[in-house]
Amino acid sequence: MNEGVPEWQAFRWTAATAAQRRVVLAAGLGWMLDAFDVMLYSIVLATLMRAFGMSRATAGALNALTLVSSALGGLLFGFLADRFGRRRMLSASILFYSVFTFACGFSTTIAALAIFRFLLGLGMGGEWNTGAALVAETWPAALRGRALGIVQSGWAVGYALSAIAAGLILAHANWRWVFFAGILPAGVVLWIQHRVPEPPLWRNARAAAPAQSLGALRRSWRSLVVLTLANTLGMFGWWGLFTWIPAYLVLPASEGGHGFHLLGLTGFLVTLNLAGMLPGYLLFGAAADRFGRRAAFSVYLTAAAASVPLLAGARQPAFILLFACLAAFFGTGFFTGSAILGAELFPTETRATALGISYNVARGLSALAPAIIGALSMRRGLAWAFGASAAAFAGAALVSLFLPETRGAEFESRCGPELPGKLQ
């Protein structure tokens, strides 16, 4: 680091080791491609509703099913990652969601689509906590926030890519080919297996017996409950809002939408992700390293709650885009805080498991959000229903005040402080 410069200001990508850069790249690619696969459903939701004759409530319930399975996947892959390695389970989760996104293209009934969405959700849930644990255990405390911010920003890039891919494919083929494109992430697995190392922290802590690991998790139960509750409310706000934004834009005004055509929707979503979500993720990491994890987490959630009503009340396309970007900046950026806090609150023996519980159980508990927003919209329209998302963001901000501050935390195991060791 530069002499005389605070470490939080001295971040340089080139100063990181080659192994650290590969770890961030692997986790970031996994999360980006997770978003690419998962958000394809939201992009083609209006098309699927017509193809299968689905109501909004049914369409929301299908997405809720995926979120429920992601909770199970987070628990499963987190448990396995604590025992068999972060890299192996990161690869397995990517392979899982890629294969079953591809399989969605073969669906001929709503039931078949539901089964494939459930199975891809397992991989979707496992990717996040395995990747976050891998990065957190590789980077030093002072730079951990920005490293995880880079990883989280992959979601915005993946979402934007899914919008571009879906727009191009739907212009020349039917919705099935959109899902067939979801097999592409599987190609990353081979590179991860050969080029990404397991963290020495995990290797050193692996000797811990399962009973001792479970004991470490029990000792952290208060922080686990509070973080899971904050995540649940925040994710209810996010999934309720962003699952329905594409449909909100393309539905005709007679159905409570804005009548965007396909090209306009693609441009809107790309801008939303690159001008809203992407900087939201990245700047959260810098703010968390500078001002503290809890403060940044609370401020982002509060601002997200305030921005949703502005979006719902906007009528002109320029203002809809502006307020959507604000909602995306704050309402998506807080996920970086969830990764940082989750990684720093729990010991290495249980880090991936705890991340799986705090994030993916929350995602499962928030699974009703798309269905609830869909059902509420049938009464008074989507703009009015988005108020439930605003309330959820506000609740998450309140709960986050009960979290401990973890900035500067050094990782420890049952054997005491852990040294990073050398990554090759």
In this predicted structure, which of 79-83, 345-349, 408-412 has the lowest mean pLDDT? 408-412
C-alpha to C-alpha distance for 137 and 141, rounded to whole angstroms: 9
Note the pLDDT tens digit of each residue in 369-403.
887 888 887 777 778 888 999 999 999 999 999 99
107: pLDDT confidence band, cut at 50, 70 and 90? very high
Q: Is the pLDDT of residue 35 over 90?
A: no
Measuring CA to CA, which residue among 295, 293, 299, 296 is closest to residue 406?
293
Place of tokens 């900087």: 279
What residue ranges do the domains of the chain occupy?
17-407
Please indicate whether residue 149 or residue 390 has the higher confidence score (pLDDT): 390
Percent of the chain with pLDDT over 70: 86
Q: Which pLDDT does position 207 carry in this prediction?
A: 58
- CATH of the domain spanning 17-407: 1.20.1250.20
Cα distances from 12 to residues 2, 16, 17, 99, 292, in angstroms, run 10, 7, 11, 36, 20
Cα Dmax for the chain: 64
**What average pLDDT does the segment 4-21 reach?**
61
Note the pLDDT tens digit of each residue in 276-334.
988 998 899 889 888 889 999 999 999 999 999 998 888 888 888 899 999 999 999 89
* Tokens found for residue 126: 């496992």
Note the pLDDT tens digit of each residue in 204-228.
766 555 444 555 666 677 888 999 9
Q: Is the pLDDT of residue 11 over 70?
A: no
Note the pLDDT tens digit of each residue in 234-271.
999 998 888 888 777 776 555 555 556 655 677 888 88
Q: Which pairs with CB-CB distance under 8 Å and at least 24 residues apart come from 319-324?
A: 320/249, 320/258, 321/268, 321/271, 321/272, 324/245, 324/268, 324/272, 324/276
Q: Which pLDDT does position 236 carry in this prediction?
A: 94
Buried b (16+ CB within 10 A) or exposed e, 279-310: bbbbbbbbbbbeebbbbbbbbbbbbbbbbbbb
pTM for the model stands at 0.75
